[in-house]
Structure 1
Amino acid sequence: MPAAVASHPLFDSSDLLALPVLPAVVGELLDAFESAETSIQKLARLTGYDAILSARMLAVANSAACRDGAPRQANLESALAVLGEETARSIIATTAIHQSLAPLRDIPASALDQFWLHSLTCAHLARRLAVTIDYSEPEEAYLCGLLHDLGKLVIGVRHGRAFTIMQEIRHLARSPHEIPELEQQLFNTDHCELGAALVETWRLRSFFADAIRFHHMDADDLRGAHPLSRLLHVANTLSQTEDPQEEAFARADSLLGLNRNSLRQARFEAEREVINLAADLGIDMSTTGSRRKATEVSGEISFAQAARERMLTDGTSGQLEQAGDPSVLLEAMVAQDRLGQAVHEHALMGEVRGEMHSADDEAALLRAISRCAAILFDVPENHLFLRDPQTGMLRGSPFEDLLHEIVIDPDGAANAVNRAWREQRISHSLDTEIPASVVDRQLSRLWETQGTLCLPLSVADRSLGVLAMGVSHQQLPRLQARARLLRLFAVTAATELERLRQREMNRQRAQDDQRLLERQQVRAVLHEVSNPLTIMRNYLALLATRLEEQVTRDELKVLQEEMERIGRILLRLSEPVGGELDDAGVNLTQIVRDLARVLDDALCRPHGINLKLNLADVPLVLPRGRDVIRQILLNLIRNAAEALGSGGAITVSIQDRINLNGRQYVEMAVADNGPGLPDHVRAKLFQPTVSTKGGGHAGLGLAIVKSLAEELGGQALCRPNGGGGSIFIVLLPIN
C-alpha cells in the first residue's frame, strides 16, 4: 500500500459524539436524573448498557479537569463519583442533543442491533468469567467487553456500508488475527487499533487498551498475557451469535483454566441476561439469526478492494477520504440547515452554561469549564491559562501543579497559546509550516498528545486568557470543522468567568463600604459620648464640693438627662448601619448631613478635598430608601474624591419640587471641579466597565448608583459642570 495513503489520518476514534447510542438508555438515564432516589449504582448500571455513553463517562472522568491525583480506573461507579451528578447529566444531555440532530447514518438498524447484542453479551460474559477466575476487577472486564468493538462504529459512521461488512468479515477470515488484517486492507486501519487508541487517551492504570488491541490474536499468542487480555479474548470468542465449536471451548480452557461445562454455563447465563435486557433497551432480536452468505460478503469486500485499488492508481484516493471527513459532512449539514445548526449549538451551550453557572468560586468555575470542554469536544486533556493582572503573563490555573508552573509571555517566543491570545483567533501547533515551539512541545509531552489547539477567552473586548487543548492529527479536522461551536464555547466560558469576577468585586466592595461605615460610625459615636461624659464629670466635681449642702433638683435632673443620653448613644451601636429609625419617612436632609460628616472625615479631608453642602433649611422627607440613599451618596462622593487631587472641591446639593413627566422628584446632586469626562466615556458612564483610575477600581460605582436609583423608582443622570468637572444627579420620587 502506498505510504501516502497509509499515513493519512482518516479515522478519529475520540469523536464519540459522532457514534450512535441506544436511545432507550439515554431516556432511562435522563429520567433517572430527574428522580430524587437516583443512586450512583443505578446510574452506573444504566450507563453500562451502552458502549458510547460508558466511554464518554470514562473519558471525562479521566480528563485533566477531574483527575485530582486519583487512580485512573475503568469503573463506572468510580467515574460517576468523580464526575458528580451535574456533570454526568451534562454528558448525557449533550449526547442526546447531538444524537437527535445528527444526520441520518447509512448503518442498517439490524446491524446496529447485532452490534449492541454482541457487545452486551461479551461484557456480561467477561464479568462472569472474571468472577469465576477471581480476577480483581470484574467491572473492568465488563467495560472491556462492552467497548472492545467500538472501533467498528468509528469506521461505520464514515462508511456505513463497511459496517455490515465488518460484522460479517470474520466468516471469511481463516483465523481471528486475519480480521484486523482484512480491515487494514480495506480501510487503512482496523477496529482493534482504533478502540485501543481511544482508551489510551484516558491513560488508565490498566492493560485495558492492550486487551482491546490484541483481542483477535490467536489463543496461543495470548498464553501468559495479562488476565484481562485473556478474559476479553475468550468472552469475544464465546459471545458470537452462533454456537462456538468445541475447538473454541478448548482454546478458552487453555487460556483461563476453566472446563467446558463451566464455560458453557457462563455463556448461557450471559445470553439469558442480555435477552431479558433487549426488550427494555429496544434492541430487535428478530434479525440477529439471519445472516448473509459469506459469498455475498466476499463480493462486497472484493468490490471495495477493487474501488480502492482504482483510486490508488488514478490519484483519486483523496475523494474517498474526503467523503468520510467529518469537516466536509458538517459543512454540508450547515449549508442545508443553518438555523437548525444554530439551535443545536445554542442548546449545547445551554447545557454547559448551566454547569458553569452553578460554580460558586473561580476555582470551581475553571474546573467546570475544563470539564465542559472535555464533554463537548471529547478533549480530555485541556487547561486554562489566565492573564495575571500583576505581571500580564498567562499563567496556568492552580489545580495542576506542573501546568501551574508554566508561565507564558504573550510577547515572548511564538507558540499556539500566545498566538491565540495576540491574534484573538483559534490557533494550533500542528501546522507543518510553523515549527512547534518549546511551550508547544512541553504541553504535548505533558498531555501525551501530538499538539495543542488553543481558544482565546474574551468578552466585551477584554481578554481573560486562553483555553489550551491537547489534540492529535486525527482530532484536528473535526475540531476545525466545529470552529463556530468552539468560538461560542469560548465566549460562554469567558462570560461566566467575567460574571463571577464582577460578582466577587461587587461583594468585596459592599463589604468595604460596610466596614467603612461601621468604623466611622463607631468614631462618631465615641466622639458624641465624650461630651455628656465631660458634663457628668463637671457636675460630679461640683457635687463633690457641695456635699455639705442640699443638692438642688435642677442639678440632679441635668445629671439624669445626660446619663440617659449616654444610654441612647450607646444603644445606637447595636443598630444596623443605616437602619430605618423613623417609620414616618426618611429625612433626606439629615441623611446627607450625617453621611457627609463621616465621608468628609474618612475620604475628603485626608486627601485635601473640600466637601461642601448646599441643603435646604427645612427637612425633605421621602417615603422610603434610607439604606439605598446612603449607598448612592457614598458611591458618588467616593467616585468624585478618587477623581480629584489635592485642592479639589465636591458640592452636595438638594433641590425640591422637580417635575418630570408629571411626577414630583427631589434632586440630589454631587458636583466636582475635576477634569471632567470625555464624550465617549460619558456615553457608557452607567455601564459596568474597567476603571482608568487603577488601584483595583472596578468602574462599578456608577452602575450601582443607576441600579439603586431605579430600585427606588428614580433616575441617575450626568452633565458637565459649568466651572469644570461633572455633576451627577439622582432624581428620587417624593411619592
Structure 2
Amino acid sequence: MLATAESELPSLPQVILRMLDACDENADYQDLGKIIGNDTALTARVLALANSSFFRRGQPVKSLHQALLRLGIENLRTLVITASLRQFLLKLGGDQWQQLRDFWRHSLATALLARALAQLTRYSNPEEAFLVGMLHNVGELVMLHHAGQPQAEGDDASPVVADAAEIGANMASNWGLSPLATDAIRYQQMPASNLSDTAHLVKLISLATRLAMSDKHGVDAAQTLFGLTAALTREISKRIETEVDSLAEGLGIALDADCGADSAREKLLRRLVQHGMVDQAAQPLIQAENEPSLYSALVHAAELLCEGSALIFVVQDEWLVAGAVSGWPELDLRLPLEPVRSLVARCVAAGAPQVIGHPDTADLTVDQQLLNLLESRAAYAVPVVIEKQTIGVIVGGFDTSPDADRRALLALLATRAGRAFQAIGERQPEPGLDFGSDEMDSRLRLRQLIHEVSNPVTVIRNYLGTLQSRLSENDAARTDLDVVTEELDRIATLLVQSRDLHEAPGQPSDTVDLVREVQSLMDLLDSALFANHDIESDVQAPGEPVGIAMSRGSLRQILLNLARNAAEAMPGGGNLTVSIRANVWQNGQTWAELTLEDDGPGLPESVRSQLFKPLTSSKGKGHSGLGLSIVKRLVDASNSTISCYTGTTGTGFRILIPVANTASQEVAGQ
C-alpha cells in the first residue's frame, strides 16, 4: 500500500494561487468553497483536517461546506499557505505536470457530472455526489506523487500498487466518508451490467467517471443504470465540458497547450515571499491595544515594506484625518472627502489604489504637498477596507513609481490592517458607556456569547440536513427532525432578540438610521440564520445615514420576519438581496425604500390571494403564515406601505417608509 499524507498530494499551482488571493481578499465561505471544490488535493486536505481528532466534534463531516464551517477562515488560510509551500517540495517533471493538469480536468468533470446526474435522478444529497466525484480518483494522485519522488538509497523497491481505486477507497474511509461513498470509489470501473442492484451513489460515480473520460460505453451505461436517452446524456456531457473549460479559463489553466505550471509556480513563489515579508512587518499590528498604537504600528510596517516614509489616513465623517505620519508624530492634517480634490480622496471614493506622482497623472497641489511631506517623488495609496467599506488609507512613499511587487506588499498590508482595525473595534466600548463598567462588560460578553452560540447552531443544523437526506420520504423520524430544525431556527431568532433587549438606547424611539439597523441585523443573521440554510446575503445601501420615522423594534421585527420567510422558502440555499434607497418621491411625500428579494421558487397562487393574512403557508408544517400578517400590521402602524412581487425566479417585498424630519435625520446619523 502506498502511504501518502493528504498534505503531500500535489495541486495545480494556478488553483493554489487563486485560493491564496481569495484569502487575501477576505472572501467568504461560499467563494472559498467554490475554489477548493475545484481541486482534489485541496478538498482532501480540508476534509481530512476537519475530521481530525483536533477538530472533530461528534459525527464526521460529509460535505465540503460542513468542513469549511468547522475549520474557520484563519485555519483555511494556514492550510493554503502550507499547501503553497509544499508545492516547492514536489519533484515533478514537465510530463507529470501535464498529467496533473489532465487529472484535474477529469476530476472536476466527474464531480460536476455526478452532481448534475444526482439532481436529475433525484439523489437525496447532490453535494455528497459532487464531493465523492472530486475524490474518486485520489488514488491516481497518490501514484502520481510517488512517481515524482526520488527513492532513497537502501530502500527496497516496492511495486507500485496498480489499483488506484482501492487506494482511494481506503483513504476516503480514513477521512470519515460513509461506506457507500467508499464503495462508489472502489467500484467506479465496474461494468454497468454489474451495478444494477448497487446503491444510487455507486451508480452515479461510475456513470460520471465514464462520461468524463468520453468512454464509448458511457451512453449505454446511462441507459442501463438510469434509463437516460442518448440525446440527453450527450447534452449533459457537453454542458459540463463547457463549464470545465470556463472554470479552467478563469483559473488561468491551459487545457489544450502547455499547462503553464512553471510560470504559475514562479508567481506562487513570489506571492509566498510577499506574504512572509508582510507577516513579519505586520507583527506589531496584532499587539496594538488601541487605534493610536495601531496607527504607529502601521506607519512603521509601511516604512519597512516601501523602504521610505509613510502616512496613515482614517475616515472620520466627511474627512480624511492623518492618524500617523513618518517623522511628524503630532501633525494635524485633514483632507475633505468631497469634493474629490486629491488622489487619496479618490482612493476612498473608488475603493481602489492610486499612484501619486505617476508621469501620466496630473497631480493636484494637495498631492504635491503629500509628496513633499513624505520626502518622496512618488507614492502609492491603498484603501483599508472592512466589510466592503473603506475606513482608511495607507500611503507609502517611493523614489520612483512603485513596481508591481511593492504595490502587492502594501495591498497585503492593507488587508492585515483591516483585520486589525476590526479586532480593535470589537473591543471598543459603545458611545455613552464607561470603559470597564459592569454594563459595558455585560454587553461585550453577550455579543461574544451570541457569536459563539451561532457557530454550533450552524453545525447542528447541517448534521440534521445530512440525517434527513438518509431517510425515506415516509419515515416517521422525518417529522421529529423537522421539529428540531424549526426549533434551531427559533434559536436564531431569539439570538437576534436577545441582542436587541440589551442594546443601549442610542436614538429616539421615533427615528432610526435605516442603513445602520439593516446592516447590523443582516450581519447577525448571516451567522445565526443564513449559514444554516446555505444562503448568501447582500446589502446594497447608500454611504450616508437614512433617518426614518419608524421605531427600531418595528423595523427589526419586519426585517426578521421577511428574512425568515426567505430562508424557509429556499431550503436548498439561494441568494437574498436587501436594498435601500433614500429620497423616493411618491404622492407628494418623501420616502425611504427598503426591498428584500430572494431567488426562491416564488409564492403559489393560494398564498398570493391571501397575502398578509394569517393562513397555512407554502413553507411546510408548523408555519401559520402569521409572519407576513405581523409585518403588514407593523407597516401600517408606522404609516408605511408594503407591496410584493413574485414569480418563478423569486419573490420580493418593497416597503416605503416615511423619512424623518431634518432634526431627526441629524440624530440618526450621530
TM-score bucket (shorter structure): 0.3 to 0.5
Which structure has the higher relative contact order (CA within 8 Å, separation 6+)?
1
Larger Rg: 1 or 2? 1
> What is the TM-score of this pair, normalised by structure 2?
0.36
